[in-house]
Structure 1
């Protein structure tokens, strides 16, 4: 009996907000997936009016359209990894939780987007409880920045020791793994630390890059981790490779002028072509 051979691309899905300035959110995620050789699908949770200088407005996508996007993607395309970004309100968070339970994606990276690099609050208060109570336990990794980790843990973070204490609090809330991002701390190095239950912390450091172009770093890092997971990498390896990628993306974009505020990274400093994998039907 003849078996037809088909091929497919490793695929990641981003569930996040749209950034009209192109530096963060859905736009940064798709750029990152593409740069790392992964096919990207997207579900837009909200539309923002923003540029390199800040966020001017946010409009949530209707619940019907949000659910429709999720169903359309999951019912048709094999998703190897999911990155979740901005969930602007409680309804959006609940719809995403229900989609996870319905379609059971195996690798989920949650970037709990609450505060933008420029200091704007991006999340309504009624979404926080759903994210903490329901999404944390359903995801493979949570990737808060310092401001978000302080908010979630209820403590001030000024050192690596305090990063560790905050991570322990987040793990106690149901997270399977937490990547504490130390880029907002002052110092000669940018240090991120991966905490996984019952495993030694993985400390990843890179020399601090002096630049105004830090818009979208959190989105890019979490989507890079998702991309490497889609490519079959273990979580520690995906985090390590994503750290290397974002460090180079920051370095390669540090002297580029885009807009008049915090510019984007250089996502395409060394793009990787899509690679097909064989499947049989």
Structure 2
């Protein structure tokens, strides 16, 4: 990992919006703040969605996104970048070109393709471009269906063993670190999978977590990846950054049960630790 240790990491989220605040850029900013960072944002698309589903996606133009990204990087030193929903192929290309020019020290990519609540957030052409973009980043954080796409698998994994196999394939194909999250795995496994390269060889780590029974998982991938980007600044490894993020993530999932936001798959409580909440 390459990062610039600072007391307050400066973290840029490149993502779409969610007007209910549970996912996308708004969730990223909450997560970055919860991890002690200073959050910035470039909007890739406006969405009309809530906890019940996605009603519409309205992409930015390449010119508008490029202007946002350049206005930030021309003025502010960026310690880490989180990439979320991009949606359209021209948006993916714009982000790729900017990364090639600016070369941020840490780039975490959540390969968003669909919302937890249902509804596509990425076109087929964009999904192809996302695989190429994944080769330019520091780490990708796919859920189970997204991992299958990155690995070129015919279907999403159904067992933890299949996740391990697909994570290895994605790491070998992309040449980047892979954090495969398994919260949506059907066999109810209790570990995420981290694959990095160490001394020229793939290193596989199983990262245990406590599975929390909750319907409120809206924005989980967004929140995890942006928190990880923040925690990575100054960390010696991805596993060290993950170890800092996981307890906060567990508390946010538990806290989401008390929020009463929406009628569907509700959001996490990103600020649970500021209200005196405790892990069960």
If the length of structure 2 is used for normalisation, what is the TM-score? 0.89
CA gap 1:205/1:254 in 2 versus in 1, 3 angstroms = farther
Conservation of the 8 A alpha-carbon contact between 1:12 and 1:230 = no
Residues 2-151 of structure 1 correspond to what in structure 2 (within 5 A)?
9-133=8-132, 135-151=133-149
SS at match of 1:14: strand
Query: How far off is 1:84 after superposition?
Result: 0.2
Q: Distance in 2 between matches of 1:114 and 1:91?
A: 15
Query: How far off is 1:254 after superposition?
Result: 2.0
Q: Which runs of 5+ in 2 are unaligned?
A: 1-5, 275-280
CA gap 1:167/1:205 in 2 versus in 1, 3 angstroms = same
Query: How far off is 1:137 after superposition?
Result: 1.7
Q: Which runs of 5+ in 1 are unaligned?
A: 1-6, 272-281
Q: Which residue of 2 aligns with 1:169?
A: 169
Conservation of the 8 A alpha-carbon contact between 2:167 and 2:193 = no
Which moved further from structure 2: 37-46 or 192-201?
A: 192-201
Conservation of the 8 A alpha-carbon contact between 1:17 and 1:25 = yes
Which moved further from structure 2: 174-183 or 68-77?
A: 174-183
1:185-237 deviations in Å (ceiling 9; x for gaps) = 13555421111132432212222211121100000000010010235453221
Conservation of the 8 A alpha-carbon contact between 1:189 and 1:206 = no
Conservation of the 8 A alpha-carbon contact between 1:253 and 1:264 = yes
Which moved further from structure 2: 183-192 or 140-149?
A: 183-192
Conservation of the 8 A alpha-carbon contact between 2:228 and 2:241 = yes
Q: Distance in 1 between matches of 2:272 and 2:143?
A: 24
Conservation of the 8 A alpha-carbon contact between 1:210 and 1:254 = no
**Number of positions where the alignment pairs a residue of Structure 1 with one of Structure 2:** 264
Q: Distance in 2 between matches of 1:189 and 1:218?
A: 17
Query: How far off is 1:175 after superposition?
Result: 3.5
Query: How far off is 1:129 after superposition?
Result: 2.1
CA gap 1:112/1:188 in 2 versus in 1, 3 angstroms = closer
Q: Distance in 2 between matches of 1:24 and 1:223?
A: 11
Q: Distance in 1 between matches of 2:29 and 2:236?
A: 19
Of structures 1 and 2, the larger Rg is shown by: 1
Report 1 or 2 for greater relative contact order, CA contacts < 8 Å, sequence distance ≥ 6.
1
Conservation of the 8 A alpha-carbon contact between 1:189 and 1:207 = no
If the length of structure 1 is used for normalisation, what is the TM-score? 0.89
